[in-house]
A and B are shown apart, each in its own frame.
Chain A
Amino acid sequence: MKIEGRVWKFGNNIDTDVIIPAPYLVTSDMEELGRHCMEGVDAEFAEKVRSGDIIVAGKNFGCGSSREHAPMAIKGAGISCVIAEGFARIFFRNAFNMGLSIFESPGVFQGIEEGDRISINQDMGEIMDHTNGKRFSASPIPSFMQELVEAGGLMSYILNKRRA
Chain B
Amino acid sequence: MPQTITEKILAAHTGRETVVPGELINVRIDMALANDITAPIAIDLFEKSRVGSVFDQERIALVPDHFVPNKDVRSAIQVQTMRTFARKYNIKNFFELGEMGIEHVLLPEQGLVLPGDVVIGADSHTCTYGALGAFATGVGSTDIAAAMITGEAWFKVPESIKFIYHGQPGKWVTGKDLILYTIGDIGVDGATYKAMEFTGDAIKNLPLADRMTMANMAIEAGGKNGIISPDETTLDYIKPRAKRPFECYTSDPDALYADVRTYDVSGIEPQVAFPFLPENARNISEVGTVLIDQVVIGSCTNGRIEDLRLAAGILEGRTIDKNMRLIIVPATPTIYRQAMTEGLLEVFLSAKGIVSPPTCGPCLGGFMGILGPGERAVATTNRNFVGRMGHTSSEVYLANPAVAAASAVLGRIGSPEEL
Contact among B24, B49, B222 with A159 in the assembled complex (CB-CB below 8 Å): B49
CB closest residue in chain B, given A99: B142
How far is the CB of B163 from the nearest CB of chain A, in Å?
18
> B-facing mask of A69-106, CB < 8 A → 1, else 0?
10000000000000000101110011001100000000
Expressed in whole angstroms, the Cα–Cα distance for A97 and B156 within the complex equals 14
CB closest residue in chain B, given A92: B193
Q: What residues of chain B lie closer than 8 Å to A65, measured between beta carbons? A: 123-124, 364
> A-facing mask of B113-144, CB < 8 A → 1, else 0?
00000000111101000000000001111110
Is the CB–CB distance between A144 and B140 below 8 Å? no
Contact among B72, B138, B365 with A22 in the assembled complex (CB-CB below 8 Å): B365
Interface members, chain B 333-368 (any A CB < 8 Å) = 364-366
Chain A residues with a Cβ closer than 8 Å to the other chain, count = 39
Q: What residues of chain B lie closer than 8 Å to A23, measured between beta carbons? A: 365-366
Is the CB–CB distance between B385 and A27 below 8 Å? no
> A-facing mask of B162-204, CB < 8 A → 1, else 0?
0000000000000000000000000011001100000000000
How far is the CB of B98 from the nearest CB of chain A, in Å?
22
Q: What residues of chain A lie closer than 8 Å to B366, measured between beta carbons? A: 22-23, 25
Expressed in whole angstroms, the Cα–Cα distance for A22 and B383 within the complex equals 13
Q: What residues of chain B lie closer than 8 Å to A43, measured between beta carbons? A: 392
In the complex, whether B4 has a CB less than 8 A from a CB of chain A is no
Is the CB–CB distance between A154 and B387 below 8 Å? no
> A-facing mask of B361-396, CB < 8 A → 1, else 0?
000111000000000000000010111100010000
In the complex, whether A49 has a CB less than 8 A from a CB of chain B is no
Best-surrounded residue of A28, A89, A93, A155 (most CB of chain B within 10 A)? A89
CB closest residue in chain A, given B123: A66
Is the CB–CB distance between B189 and A88 below 8 Å? yes
With contacts A63-B222, A66-B38 taken as known, whether A155 is within 8 angstroms of B142 at the C-beta atoms is yes
Expressed in whole angstroms, the Cα–Cα distance for A149 and B222 within the complex equals 24
Q: What residues of chain A lie closer than 8 Å to B383, measured between beta carbons? A: 15, 17, 64
Q: What residues of chain B lie closer than 8 Å to A41, measured between beta carbons? A: 386
In the complex, whether A124 has a CB less than 8 A from a CB of chain B is no
In the complex, whether A18 has a CB less than 8 A from a CB of chain B is yes
Is the CB–CB distance between B222 and A60 below 8 Å? yes
Q: What residues of chain A lie closer than 8 Å to B49, measured between beta carbons? A: 155, 159
- B: contact size bracket: 35 or more
Interface members, chain B 88-124 (any A CB < 8 Å) = 121-124
> A-facing mask of B197-224, CB < 8 A → 1, else 0?
0000000000000000000000100101
Is the CB–CB distance between A158 and B146 below 8 Å? yes
Expressed in whole angstroms, the Cα–Cα distance for A122 and B189 within the complex equals 26
In the complex, whether B87 has a CB less than 8 A from a CB of chain A is no
Is the CB–CB distance between A63 and B140 below 8 Å? no
How far is the CB of A98 from the nearest CB of chain B, in Å?
5
Sample of 29 A–B contacts (CB below 8 Å)? A13-B189, A15-B383, A17-B385, A17-B388, A23-B366, A26-B67, A26-B78, A27-B74, A28-B40, A60-B222, A65-B124, A66-B139, A67-B37, A68-B122, A68-B140, A68-B141, A68-B142, A86-B192, A90-B138, A90-B219, A93-B139, A97-B142, A97-B146, A154-B143, A154-B146, A155-B146, A159-B51, A162-B149, A162-B150
Beyond A25-B37, A26-B77, A64-B124, 20 additional pairs, beta carbon < 8 A: A13-B188, A17-B365, A18-B385, A23-B366, A40-B386, A40-B387, A41-B386, A43-B392, A59-B189, A60-B192, A60-B222, A65-B124, A66-B140, A67-B140, A86-B189, A89-B192, A89-B193, A154-B146, A155-B45, A155-B48
What are the 10 tightest A-B residue pairs by CB atom distance, in nearest-first order?
A: A26-B74, A94-B140, A97-B142, A60-B189, A68-B140, A66-B124, A66-B138, A22-B364, A17-B385, A68-B141
